[in-house]
Amino acid sequence: MDALELQAQANIGGSKRIVAVDENRPSIDESKHFDLDHEPQEEKPGWRKFLSFVGPGFLVSMAYLDPGNLETDLQAGANHGYELLWIILIGLIFALIIQSLAANLGVTTGRHLSELCKAEYPKYVKYSLWLLAEVAVIAADIPEVIGTAFGLNILFHIPLWVGVLCTGMSTLLLLGLQKYGVRKLELLVAVLVFVMAACFFGELSCVKPPAKDVLKGMFVPKLKGNSATADAIALLGALVMPHNLFLHSALVLSRKVPNSVRGINDACRFFLIESGFALFVAFLINVAIVSVSGAVCSGENLSQEIIESCNDLSLDSASFLLKNVLGRSSSTIYAIALLASGQSSTITGTYAGQFIMQGFLDLKMKKWLRNLMTRCIAITPSLIVSIIGGSSGAGRLIIIASMILSFELPFALIPLLKFSSSTTKMGPYKNSIYIIVISWILGLGLIGINIYYLSTGFVGWLIHNSLPKVGNVFIGILVFPLMAVYILAVIYLMFRKDTVNTFEESAKHDPNAQIHMEDGNLNRDRGDQIPHREDLADIPLPE
């Protein structure tokens, strides 16, 4: 008969954890001495261990380099020069903390965020969260698909709707690399990130912004001008994407992590370092984008046409601006960067959609078919708008998509904050009190910023639109009760107590098994097991 027993493991940092103990199990031979401080003689060098964890951070970093962020950066640079660079620095530090929580959740629990939501919440809440997560994937995919289509239009002069279709097809083909392992896909995305870096650093070398002003904007906080606060909020709101939290918690499961205290701690540390490096590269690219836009639009003797372009800068108009100021080659480099940004972002967005559908619904279908379904759902709005509205309609759709993502963020971020701080989910690996306080302050701050951005945008539209008063009253009667429901839903997620215990700690009957796993000397016949999600490591295509 099994009983729960509280064991103080003083030799592992003094942590206490609840484990299931079989009272009738055979006793372990006392002669088999197990020393957790044992250092194997032929341990792999630290850098080789680290390299095996490199990859997920680059896929995650694409959420901070997608065309939606690119457009926000361009507008911030055009309106305020280098003054808002400090917002990007703070925002990416916030993002690193939040993303590390997602990675730690996956490593420790062996499940990703959507699977834990399915296990924890009642049926109607679970399906509501799934629908909201799918809407977030579609909203995130809109600027990515449209940005790629703009890049194709600039380079090859093909219609926008054809570019949208090409983006959908190319994404599915590139995702086929998973047939040869997820590392191939991660390598592709990393290459596209560095292509973006090369393009924007090339643009930076052409405009040569003053280094003193760039550094001042990066480290001296300043909000000057009427639209500075709104642009700063837009920059922060665009950084943390809801679907990215589901994605990161799933990507880490493709690595083989020893089911031991040292193995889990090492994996969390390696993923933190790897994500930090990838986000640092993303930070440099964002700084380059803002600096290029700021240098071009703050130049002397600008024509009226260039001034008008700077006042209403978009993904499409930015190419004409760069072409007029820096020459044709600059516009081509920008289009290549936009293409790399959009294509890699659509890959990660589709990947996130796959994990969300698998985790919440546990659909028993072939993974390539689930991938195809996710892609078709995601590109449909972009295709319809690009056919009907053209470039101007696509530009407005990007703004709507950013507002939807701001609306969606609490429904992914709050479960992550709660689960990563919960004993029922993380066991002894839950966040410390300091991390809990810091992460909740950051999380609630980001949620507050996004709600402010969303509500002020709606109220501003309500005041300044051209609809008759009766129409405005009707819209207000419809929307404000929905806002109240939204706030109640956020409060419910925040204060609902977790009830489902999903933390599992396997009892190791062979005292030497932990050393074998940590040293990489596995023998499955001997009973050494490493939790590894093969279903998340590849997507076999149909034969």
Per-residue pLDDT tens digits for 232-243: 877 877 777 888
What amino acid occupies position 435? Answer: I
Categorize the per-residue pLDDT at 380 as very low, low, confident or very high, splitting at 50, 70 and 90.
confident
pLDDT at 32 over 70: no
| Max Cα-Cα span within the chain | 87
* Per-residue DSSP letter, 210: -
Categorize the per-residue pLDDT at 129 as very low, low, confident or very high, splitting at 50, 70 and 90.
very high
How confident is the model at residue 69, as a pLDDT?
86
Distance CA 518, CA 429 (A): 18
Instruction: Output the pTM of the full model.
Output: 0.80
Q: What are phi and psi of 497, to 5 degrees?
A: -85, 130
Question: 314 near 137, Cβ under 8 Å?
Answer: no
pLDDT at 509 over 60: no
Set out the domains of the chain in order of their start, with CATH numbers: 46-418 (1.20.1740.10)
For residue 2, the cross-strand partners are 22
How confident is the model at residue 16, as a pLDDT?
37
* Burial status of residue 305 (CB atoms within 10 A of its CB: 0-12, 13-18, 19 or more): exposed
Categorize the per-residue pLDDT at 132 as very low, low, confident or very high, splitting at 50, 70 and 90.
very high
pLDDT at 36 over 80: no
Of 186-195, 357-366, 500-509, where does mean pLDDT reach its minimum? 500-509
Distance CA 238, CA 312 (A): 18
Of 20-24, 471-475, 483-487, give the range with the top mean pLDDT: 483-487
pLDDT at 187 over 50: yes
Distance CA 170, CA 343 (A): 8
Token readout for 250 is 């799933």
pLDDT at 522 over 70: no
For 19, the enclosing helix (H) or strand (E) is strand 15-22
Distance CA 14, CA 232 (A): 44
Instruction: Report the 10 Å Cβ neighbour count for 475.
Output: 15
Categorize the per-residue pLDDT at 537 as very low, low, confident or very high, splitting at 50, 70 and 90.
very low
pLDDT at 103 over 90: yes
pLDDT at 249 over 50: yes
Smallest Cα–Cα separation from 74: which of 378, 375, 292?
A: 292
For 132, the enclosing helix (H) or strand (E) is helix 123-156
Token readout for 358 is 């698998």
For all residues of the chain together, what is the average pLDDT?
Answer: 79
Q: How many helices (H) and strands (E) does the chain have?
A: 21, 2
Instruction: Report the 10 Å Cβ neighbour count for 43.
Output: 12
Q: Could you give the residue ranges of the DSSP H alpha helices within 157-260? A: 160-175, 182-207, 211-219, 228-237, 242-251
Average pLDDT over residues 250-271: 86
